[in-house]
Chain A
Amino acid sequence: MKRRIRWLMVAFAASWAAPPAMAQDEGAAPIRPRPAEIQPLAPQSLLLDVINTGRRLVAVGDRGHILVSADGNLWAQVEAPVRSALTAVQFAKGGEAGWAVGHDAVILRTVDGGATWSLQNFEPELQRPFLDLLVLDADSAIVVGSYGMMRRTDDGGATWTQVDAPEVLEDEFHLNSITRLDDGSLFVAGEMGLLAISPDKGKTWIRLESPYESSFFGAVGTGGPGVMIHGLRGTLYTNRDPLNQRGADAWQPIENDNVATMFGSARLDDGRTVMVGLNGVVTLVEGRQIQHFRSARGTPLSAVIGFGDGLLAVGESGVQRAPLTLSER
C-alpha cells in the first residue's frame, strides 16, 4: 500500500534529528544494488576521497565512481557494483587489498589493487552512510559512519560486527573520521565535538573531553602520539599526547583567520600538515604558522594527498592538482 504524505505538513512536523527508520514504505520491494555507470566526465564530478596505494592512485566519489590513475593526470573509471556515493577508500600495505565505503552503508572490497570490486555490505534501508574507514591490515579494518556506526572485520570482510564501545557510540553522533596516529593508536573525530582514542588497535575506546561543541571532520598525526584536529568554520586544535592529556584545556587552538571549514587533511613528507575544504581553500600548517591559498576552481574540496611536487585534492569539481612548490605560497 502506498502512503500519500502531505509533505508540507510533514516538513513542519519533522525535525532533522528524527529517527530515520519511520519513512520506509511498508512492503516495498527491497532495493537492489545497481552497478555504477561508466561515464567520461566521472573524473570531473564530485569525488570524496583519494589515496595513493603505493602502486597507483585510487579516488572514489558520487554515484559509485571509482577511478584509478598512474600519474594523477589520466584517470580511468573502473566497474563498481553500486551507484551509491562512496565516501572513503583505503588500502593495506602492499596496495593489493583494500576497501571503499559509502552511503547506503556500502562496503566494497578489492584484492587486486583496485581493479575489481565486490560488494560486502549494502543496507539502503538503514539510511545511514559510512563516512570513513581505517585499514589495519589485509584482513582487518574499521569503518565508521553516521549515528555512531562503527564496524570491524578481521576476516577480510566476510563478517562485519558493530564495535562495542558505548562510551563513544551511545550518543549516536556522526563519526566523521578515523585515523591512525604515528604511535599506532587510533583516533576518531565526529559530530558535537566527539573525540575518541584507542591505544589497542580499536579493541577498546576512550572518549576524550572536547574543547569544542560543534563538528570535527578529521584528524591527522603530528608525530609520535600527537594529533591535529580540524572542525567547522576553520577550527583547529593540536594535542601532543591526547591519550595521556585528556582535559579539554590540553587542546591548543591554532589561530586561524580563515573560517572555511576543512574537510580533508594529510601529513606531507616535509612534516607540514595540509587541509582542504570549503570554497577550495587549502590550509598549510607548519608548527603554529598557518598559510592559505585557494584552488583554481574555488569549489569545495573533500580530501587531499601530497603527490609528486605538489598536492592532489578531490572535491566537487573532481580531481584538482595544485602545482605546489611548498615553500612559495
Chain B
Amino acid sequence: MAAPSTVEAGSLQDKILKVVEPLIYGPRKINLVILVALTLMFAWFASGTRVDAGFDKSIPLDHPYMEIYKHYEAEFGGANTVLVALIQKDGNIYNEKFLDKLKAATDEVFFLPGVDRSRVSSLFTPDVRFIEVVEGGFRGGNVIPAEYQPTQEYFDIIRENVGKAGIIGRYTTVDQRGAMIFAELLETDPVTGEKLDYRAVAQQLEETIRQFEDDEIEVHILGFAKVIGDVTDAAMEVVLFFFVALALTFILLIVYLGSFKLSWLPLVCSFVAVIWEFGLLTLTGFGLDPFAILVPFLILSVSVSHGVQYTSSWVSELATGKNSHDASLETFRRLAIPGTTALITDAAGFLTIALIPIDVIREMAINATYGMVAIIITNKILMPIWLTYISVSDVDAFLQKQGAREAVLNPVFRAMTVVTRPLPAAIVILLAASAFGWASWKGKDMIYGDAQAGVPELRPDSRYNQDTAAVVDNFAIGTDILKVIAETSPDACIRHDVMSQIDRFAWTLQNVEGVQSYVSLPWAAKQVTAAFNEASPKHHILPRNQYVMVQAITPIPTSSGLLNPDCSAMAVFLFMADHKATTITRATDAVKDFNARNAAEYYEDHPEANAADCEARTAKRRAFGNLRLELRRLTDKMRAGGATDAEIDADPKVQSLREDEIVAVETWKNMTTDCPVNFALATANVGVMAATNEVVKDKEIQVVLFVYLVIVVFLFISFRNLAGVLSILLPLVVVSQLIYGLMALTDIGMKVATLPVAALAVGIGIDYGIYIYSTIEEFVRKGKSLTEAYYETLRMTGKPVIFTGLVLTGSVSTWLLSGLQFQADMGVLLMFAFFANMLGAIFVCPAICRYTMKLPQG
C-alpha cells in the first residue's frame, strides 16, 4: 500500500519543511542531547513546583462588585471567612464542658495564621453584647460576663443574655445546642507582608480546632481556607489518577501497536511534555493552583493523541519497506505540519480563555499553553528523532501481525465508507443538524454558577459539605450571604431620610424570592428605639428626631459590621436561601432596580440635588478607595521585601500616595451636595459569586467565538479552501453545542471550573478533524474517489483517531471516581467531548466533504 507522496513541491508547506527538516534530522545526536538536557533542567524546576492558592486570584478583581469588595474589605470584612461551629448532640450549650470548649476554640481561632483578630467573634468575645429594657431605662453588657465562673448561676445568666442579645440563630444554633465562632482571614499578613499559606491554615484548623470534637460535641469548619485544604488533599489523589491514566494508556497502546517497545514512545513523549509544562510554570514564577490540577491531564491526553498518530503512521511507513529513518522522515513530512497546526490552534484556544479576568483562569491558560508548546517539541522533534533510532527486530513478523489485524479491521472501514455516498452523507448531516438543534434548545436550561449547597468543588457527601449542611440546618443565617454597601455622606446615619432609604431597601429585598432575611443598621436602630420606649412594638420605628436617632445608634458598635467609623457607609446583610445563579441574579437585579427607583424618587423630592454631582461624588469615593488599595498593596509589598515601618514612611512613593489619599478624602468630604443613598453591589460570598457569574456569562460567548475565529483562521491558512474549514469546524460546533445540552441535562453549571472545558472541547477535537481531513484531501488530490480516499484515510489516520478517542474517553472516565466534584463534572464533559469529537471527525467530517469538496470525476 503506497503512501501518498506527502507535500506538493513548491507549496508553503514544502517551503517550511525544507527549512525545518534539515534542522531536526541533520544534527540528530546534538538535538537529542539538547532535548535531554532541557528535560533534565525542567525536571529539576518541576520538582520545585509549589501549590499556590489564593482567594483574591480566584475572584474577578476588575468587576465593579469586586471593586466595592476591595474598597470596603477593611471596614466591613471580606468574603474570606472561617466559621467554626461547635454543636452538642444533646442538651443546650449552657454547661461547663461546652463553654470551656467554646472558649478554648475561640482562643485557638485567634492564633490561626492570617486571622484578622479584630474580627474574631463568638459568645466569648467582647463585641457580642445585649441590650435590655429595665424600669427607668435600659442596660447593656457582654453576653458572657467578665467575672464568669462555671456555675449554674452564670449558666442561667448567659442563657438569658443570649436571648436578650437577639443572637439566637447566629451565635448559637436555633435550638441553642451549638455555638458559632466567626473569623476572617487576611491574605497578606499586615505585619510581615507575607502571603498567607492557606494549606497551613487548613492544617492548623484540623490540628487545633477539629480536636475539640468528641463523642458529644461535633466540630464543623467552613471557609475558603478549609476548601483549599480539602481540595489540595484531594489533589494528591488526582496525582494518582494521573498515573492510573498513564498506565491504562500504556496497556492499550501495547494492544494497539502490538509492540511493547513502541508503546513507550507516545507515553514517554507525553510525560516529558508534562515535565516541560511544570518546569516552564515554575521557571516563570507561577505555582500550581489546586483548581488547575487538571491541566496536566489535558496535556497528557492531547500529547498521547498526537503521539499515537505519529507512531501509527511510522508503522505504516515501515510496512512499505522503508527503514526506521526514512519511515520517520516520511511521517514527519506528512504529519508535522497538520499536527503542529492542530497544536498551535489548541494553544491559541487555550490562550483565549485568558480573556476571563480571573487570575486563576489566566494562570490556567498560560499553564496549558506552555503544555501545548511542550507537546510540539516532544511530539514533533523528540519523537521523530527517537523513531529513527528504533529498530524493530523482526520487521516481517511485526508487519505480519499488523497485516492480520488490518484484515479484521478493513471490512469495518470499508463499511464505514458508506457515509461518503450522497444519501447517507445527507442523513448524517441532517442528524448532526438536529443534534445541534436539540442542544441549542436544551442548552438554554443550562445554569450559570451552581445549584448545589456547600461548595461545588467538593462532593456533596464530603466532610466539608456535610459541615455546611450542619451549619445551614442548625443556624438561621445559612452560609450564603450577600452584602450590599449603602453609601452616603459622613454622619448620615443619624438622618431619618437616609436611614429610611436603607430600611426600605432591605425590606424591598426581603420581598424578593430567595432572600430569607436581612440585618441592617436601621433594623438594629429600630430595635433600640423600641427598647427605649418600653419595648412597645408601636415604637419599633426610625425616629425622625436626630437626637433620638443618635441614641438609637450609639449602642451599635462598628464591630457589628453594620456601619463604618464615620457612618458614611452601612452594610446591609441579605441572607440568601441558596446560591443558584438565578437566585443571585434575581437579588442583584432587585438591588439595581431599587437603587434606580430610589434615586429617581429622591431627585423628585429634592429638586436641589442633582445626579451629576452625586455621580461625581461616588466617583471621588472610588478614587480614594483605589488610592488606599494601591497604598496597601505597595506597603504590603515593601514589608514582604523586609522594609521597616520607618523605611516605608520615608518612601517617596508611599508619601505621595498618602498625600493624594488625604486630598481625595477631603475633596470627597467637601462635596456636601445632598444625594440619594447609593446601594453598591456587593461583598460577602454571594457578592463574589454574583461577580464571577456575571463575568463568566459575559465572557463565555466571547471566548467561544474567539476560539472559533482562531480555528477558522488556522484552518484556512492550512487548507486554503472552504471544504477544509467547514468539514473540520462544523462537527466541532455541533459537539460544543451538545456540551451545553449535556450540561443542562446533568445539572452541571457554567462556572469557572467548567468554562475552560466547554471552550476547549473545541480545541481537543480539532486534531482529529485535521488528521482526517488532510489525509482525505491528499488522496482525493491524487485522483482517488472520495470513498476510496476515505477508506485509505481510515486505515492510516482514522484508526489512531478512533483509538485515541476511545483511550482518552476511557482514561478520563476514572475522573468520575474523584473526590473532587469539579473533576468529576469535568470528567463527564471531557469524556463526552473526546468521544463525540471522534465520532464527528470520522462520520460527519467525510459526510461534509461529500458536499463541499472539489471531487474528481466518478
Contacts and interface: CB of A to CB of B under 8 A. Distances in A.
Interface of A: 2, 4-8, 10-11, 14, 16, 18, 20, 22-23, 29, 31-32, 34, 37, 39-41, 45-46, 48, 62-63, 83, 85, 87, 103-104, 124, 127, 129, 131, 176, 214-215, 217, 232-233, 261, 263, 278, 300-302, 315-316
Contacts of A62: 540-541
Contact of A103 (B490, B541, B567, B606): B541
A20 B534 contact: no
B541 A85 contact: yes
Given A7-B553, A103-B541, A217-B536, 4 more contacts: A11-B554, A16-B532, A39-B511, A129-B539
A41 B518 CA distance: 13
Given A7-B491, A39-B507, A263 B550 contact: no
Contacts of B260: none
Contacts of B539: 129
Interface string B524-544: 000000001011111111011
B672 interface: yes
Given A41-B511, A127-B543, A29 B537 contact: no
B248 to A, nearest CB: 56
Given A14-B550, A103-B541, A278-B535, A5 B491 contact: yes
A31 B539 CA distance: 20
B510 A41 contact: yes
A29 B606 contact: yes
A29 B608 contact: yes
Given A5-B491, A11-B551, A16-B532, A37 B508 contact: yes
A300 B535 contact: yes
A31 B548 CA distance: 19
Contacts, number: 101
B494 interface: yes
Given A48-B537, A62-B540, A217-B536, A14 B135 contact: no
Nearest to A86: B538
Contacts of B857: none
Contact of A8 (B545, B548, B554): B554
For the complex of A and B, list the 6 residue pairs with the smallest distance between their C-beta atoms, beginning with the closest: A14-B547, A23-B546, A302-B537, A11-B550, A39-B511, A127-B544
A187 to B, nearest CB: 18
A232 B534 contact: yes
A18 B547 contact: yes
A5 B540 contact: no
Contacts of A127: 543-545
Contacts of A14: 547, 550-551
A46 B504 CA distance: 14
B538 A32 contact: no
A176 B605 CA distance: 33
17 contacts: A2-B674, A4-B491, A11-B550, A20-B544, A20-B545, A23-B544, A31-B497, A31-B605, A34-B601, A46-B540, A48-B538, A63-B504, A63-B507, A131-B538, A217-B536, A302-B538, A316-B537
B244 to A, nearest CB: 54
Contact of A124 (B494, B535, B544, B606): B544
Interface of B: 135, 490-491, 494, 497, 500, 504, 507-508, 510-511, 532, 534-541, 543-548, 550-551, 553-554, 567, 601, 605-608, 672, 674
B551 A16 contact: yes
Nearest to A49: B538
B548 A16 contact: yes
Nearest to B604: A32
A62 B515 CA distance: 20
B547 A23 contact: yes
A127 B548 CA distance: 10
Contact of A39 (B508, B605, B608): B508
A300 B550 contact: no
B519 to A, nearest CB: 15
Nearest to B544: A127
A176 B546 CA distance: 23
A170 B535 CA distance: 25
Contacts of B536: 176, 217, 261, 263
A32 B511 CA distance: 25
Contacts of B507: 39, 45, 63
Nearest to A214: B135
A62 to B, nearest CB: 7
Given A16-B532, A29-B605, A39-B511, A300 B537 contact: yes
A236 to B, nearest CB: 16
B601 A87 contact: no
B719 to A, nearest CB: 60
Contacts of B554: 8, 11
A315 B537 contact: yes
